[in-house]
Chains A and B, each alone.
Chain A
Amino acid sequence: MPMSARAKLGFALALLLLLAANTARALEPITVTLEFQPDLADGRYSYDICARCHLPEAWGNDDGTYPQLAGQHVNVLMKQLLDIRSGRRSNPAMQPFVQQRTIGGYQDLANVVAYISTLPMNPRHAKGPWPPGSPEHAEGEAVYATYCQSCHGAGGEGDNTRAYPRLQGQHYSYMARQARLARDNLRRVDASMSALFTAVSATDFDRALNYISHLPLPAADVAPGVDWRNPDFQ
């Protein structure tokens, strides 16, 4: 939705400050992924445990109970694993599986995220309710361009070096649920992201997510069909 010029300026300033804070903070996930040479075979072995919940393809569920992990940047995966491991991001079912005594140390986390990043993406992720051409879709596009694109990228591709999640291909239902949790302070997210909830209304945010969910995926990143099954698990 349109915003007054002053509000926009205020928002841009806030964003700049946050970005500065962002670069200043030591990014543990990035340090970890840079410092540990991943071993894919070992990552495949560790992923066995994850697959008990995320399934071998890591494609997530239409209804948004599980995220699509395939195609996600390693630094983003690492950040989420570290947040879940420490309890910073609440995920009680998964938390015990990413502890030192279960999965192991940084090396093992590096291995498993590297493995996940080799998986092709779900060719049919859940889309939002408003198709391209609808006014809601167009509004979402405008919101996205103003507020989200700078971090999540023009095509929703995210940014590995800065650990901005790839949203392209993520289930709309999952994103909507995460946004609801984050807005109600039930999921702790980076300040860079949480500032958005004051600037952007729930409705506008939802339209932006709808828009993202309709973005095309690069053919090379996608599995050949919905029936594709991870051969490592056959």
Chain B
Amino acid sequence: MSGGKGVKRNGISRRGFLKSGGATLAGGAIGIGAAGTAVASSESSPPAIARLLRKATLPAASGARVVVVGGGWSGLTLAKYLKRFNPDFDVVLIDRQSAFVSFPVSNAWLADQVDLDFLSHSFFDAANNHGYRFMAATVLGFDRDSRRVFTEQGYVDYDYLVLAPGIEYDYPRIGVDDPEAQELLFHRYPGGFVTSSELLTIKRKIHRFRGGTFVLTVPSGDYRCAAAPYERACMVAAVFRRRRVRAKILLLDMNSDIVIKREGFARAFDELYGDSIEYLPSSEISALDVDARRIETDFDEYEFDDAIIYPPVRASRLIEEAGIHNPEDPQKAPDTDPFRYHLRNDEHVYVAGDSRAQPFSKGGHTAHSEAQYVAEVIAAHARGREIAWRSPQTMCFSAVDIEPLRAMSIITYYKYDSTTGLFAFDRTHLIDRWDTQGGQASLAWAEGMYRDLFYG
């Protein structure tokens, strides 16, 4: 197999073996168990623990309280539309980050096509404009019997709980099992798919790269935003081209082929970045040595100067820790009703967004269209009504070139096949030629979304 510069073979172990300093798992919540009972039973109760056990400072609920966990694309949409569909709801949105930075369009930002202001928005604006409360806190767990959510700012009682905490990286699936090794890998070579600091690190990396081999990976499974890793490879290559850096970009794809917008991306790799991007399909990663900057696949081994390692993903650990996951599912997604989104045995707890169980594409647009429906389901439930199922839609633009920005797009819907009991793609409309109209549309799309989530 072909490889990049500095490809070497040696007897590196098949599994990750790294050890280094670090604390908790990347992107994960601090686990205290589902019910918070571990905390509740703690006897010594030092101040830090006492804090967890008091009631969070919030005005008394003005109506049925809906607590939304996670202020991403799903949670922000849910909070807004819950309030809209039922103005009597008292909605509280909780996120551990203090500001929102959009992942969609962040690849264009890496290549300076928009500035950070375009991507960054305040949770306060969203809450003030839409009549709900925002709380900056990390959710540690919840207890379904007492209907209580625990955070480091204290607990909040709920009538409805909606979980939209998104995804986490699943490093063991690329052979990195040791938590400390995972932590090190996360900090040095973040994937840029979970938290906003990762994005800032990646931008610095590519704007300061001095040349050599730059590795990007595409995970397998139902990972977040199918097109984004390919789009990112194009944007990284465009930056290197503009900076005239002599670099080889190795795009290690764990899938056997480009999984989406195949023709368009293949043409871009060939026509625009033929001298920089080397696309390597079926590159199942089996081990990764952070210090030696070496990555091992089932067939080959590569050394790199810098990298963006995007491993497979799983649903937020919050779900597994609460014991509401489906143990059969490799992504540890929740055991929910596929049409109503609530836990099968609890109509007061809902899960939406990228941590959902349904196999819909993990995308911001998907999460946004789905959340409007889920908000309506919950509002109807509170009134003792039901509404008909509506499919989410997945819409995704992918930039392939800059100056001017050129992009492709795809939209797809889902249908439920009652004979197989599975969801399938309904009609799909793919525009895989990249043009400036698509580039402009991608920015218009994002602008409309931000307006909806924060201002309109």
Binding site for B on A (CB under 8 A): 48-49, 51-53, 55-56, 61, 63-65, 87, 90, 92-97, 99, 102, 173, 176, 184, 186
Contacts and interface: CB of A to CB of B under 8 A. Distances in A.
A96 B395 CA distance: 15
A96 B429 contact: no
Contact of A56 (B426, B429, B441, B449): B429
Given A52-B409, A52-B441, A87 B448 contact: no
Nearest to A129: B388
Contacts of A49: 437, 441
A92 B448 contact: yes
Nearest to B373: A65
Contact of A97 (B368, B388, B444): B444
B451 A95 contact: yes
6 contacts: A52-B409, A61-B426, A63-B389, A65-B391, A87-B456, A96-B448
Given A52-B429, A52-B431, A64-B390, A94 B411 contact: no
B204 interface: no
Given A48-B437, A53-B395, 8 more contacts: A55-B427, A56-B429, A64-B388, A65-B390, A92-B448, A92-B456, A96-B444, A96-B447
B449 A63 contact: no
Nearest to B368: A93
B371 to A, nearest CB: 13
A63 B456 contact: no
A94 B452 CA distance: 11
Contacts of B118: none
B241 interface: no
A213 to B, nearest CB: 13
A53 B431 CA distance: 11
A176 B390 CA distance: 12
B177 to A, nearest CB: 42
B391 A61 contact: yes
B456 A90 contact: yes
Interface in B376-402: 388-391, 393, 395
Interface string B1-36: 000000000000000000000000000000000000
A173 B388 contact: yes
A52 B368 CA distance: 17
A53 B451 CA distance: 18
B417 to A, nearest CB: 14
B391 A51 contact: no
Contacts of B437: 48-49
B144 interface: no
B452 A63 contact: no
Contacts of A95: 448, 451, 456
B361 to A, nearest CB: 16
Nearest to A45: B437
Interface string B392-429: 01010000000000000101010000000000001101
Contacts of B429: 51-52, 55-56
Nearest to A51: B429
Contact of B413 (A61, A92, A99): A61
B107 interface: no
Interface in B293-338: none
Given A55-B427, A173-B388, A102 B393 contact: no
Interface in B242-298: none
Q: Which of A56, A92, A184, A186 has the most CB of B within 10 A?
A: A92
B369 interface: yes
A131 to B, nearest CB: 17
